[in-house]
Amino acid sequence: MSTMHDRSSAESSARDYISRYLGPAVTLVDQTVSLYDRSLDAIAEHARPGAAAKVGVILTSRLANDIRVCSLSAQLGYGIQALALGATIFEIVGALCHVGDSESRAIEWAKHADVRHTYPRKVEEGIEAALRSLGVFSPTMKENWRRAYTFMCTAKHANPRTSMLHGLRIDLSGFSFLCGPDPSAYGVAMSAEALYNAIFFGVPGVHAALGHCSEESLRVPLRAEALRLSEALHGLESWFTELSKAAEEESAHGAVTEGQVSAIVSALDSEAKRLRHEAGRLEGETERLRLETERMRRAASGPRCDD
């Protein structure tokens, strides 16, 4: 059984190892968080009047924190957890852009009390609002965003396929289960994906948030910085491709492949059938013993002949 000391040691080792691969993205995500902090200062000092700006500050503050925690998790080797936060970042950016400068939507957001659904209720509304805030009206781009969100949600909702790939390894000694940070090529790729998405979707968020700053002399250079970060992220495409390729190669030599998943499912199904058969046998044996016990009890309590 692992201890907190073991986990802390594993996290430290994972961070030292993973940092060699995540460096370019970590630099950009730190700059993104810094941009959020400076944008929040600008909005706080020169906020537009009304409810929309207040909601904007709440959501922007949350985004700054989530992006920061996403980065820390990714660097510690918790790529799946970081990717789940990426889905949340995506949703908050959508809400921020959907509310925008609309007073009526800001009031709707503040009064929203349905704990079963978020606001806006449909993710597509948030996607459309975010793209619209950037002046993008491409159906292809909308579909790309939706697919990215769907993939992040496989981590957020513990999709069995993603959970199997993440939590189970196969080598010559058999199966092994992962508990703690994952410094494997697959884990590094997931951490990289989380950082990439945190920046990719976080930048439109800060762009929209600055709409609540009334001071143009502050708003313009900060939005220019957001654009620079987006361009710098595009420059990391080859870096990201290499990490993904390494994860695919590892998948062929240790991580669970598609064929292995089928084999595992088949093995689990066979084991379930064996357990059902054993349970049936035990149930029959229990019933036999019950009847035997009842017979012995009746025999012991029957009439006796006195001498």
Q: What is the pLDDT of residue 287?
A: 80
Last-in-domain residue among 255, 272, 291: 255
Q: Are residues 145 and 19 in the same domain?
A: yes
Q: Are residues 154 and 34 in the same domain?
A: yes
Residue 307 lies in a domain: no
Helix H or strand E encompassing 48:
none
230-245 exposure pattern, b = at least 16 Cβ within 10 A, e = fewer: beebeebeebbeebbe
**Can you tell me whether residue 159 is helix, strand or coil?**
coil
pLDDT of 268 above 60: no
Q: Are residues 246 and 296 in the same domain?
A: no
Q: Are residues 37 and 166 in the same domain?
A: yes
Q: Are residues 285 and 164 in the same domain?
A: no
Confidence of residue 258 (pLDDT cuts 50, 70, 90): low
Q: What is the pLDDT of residue 119?
A: 92
Confidence of residue 307 (pLDDT cuts 50, 70, 90): very low
Q: What is the pLDDT of residue 299?
A: 75
- Give the predicted TM-score (pTM) of the model: 0.77
Count of the separate structural domains present in the chain: 2
Q: Are residues 123 and 264 in the same domain?
A: no
Range of the domain at 113: 4-255
Residue 265 lies in a domain: yes
Q: Are residues 53 and 159 in the same domain?
A: yes
Instruction: Compute, in degrees rounded to 10, the torsion defined by CA atoms 206, 142, 122, 205.
Output: 0
pLDDT of 252 above 70: no
Q: Are residues 174 and 201 in the same domain?
A: yes
Q: Are residues 15 and 98 in the same domain?
A: yes
- Write down the mean pLDDT value for the chain: 85
Top pLDDT among 301 and 104 is at: 104
Residue 104 lies in a domain: yes
- Write out pLDDT tens, residues 65-84: 999 999 999 999 999 999 99
Q: Are residues 67 and 91 in the same domain?
A: yes
Strands (E), the chain: 168-171, 174-177
Q: Are residues 291 and 219 in the same domain?
A: no
Residue 108 lies in a domain: yes
Q: Are residues 12 and 66 in the same domain?
A: yes
Top pLDDT among 163 and 116 is at: 116
Contacts of 226 (CB under 8 A, 6+ apart): 35, 203, 206, 207, 210
Residues 64 and 68: their CA atoms lie apart, in Å, by 6
- Write out pLDDT tens, residues 182-231: 888 888 889 999 999 999 999 999 999 999 999 999 999 999 999 999 99
Contacts of 243 (CB under 8 A, 6+ apart): 21, 185, 188, 189, 192
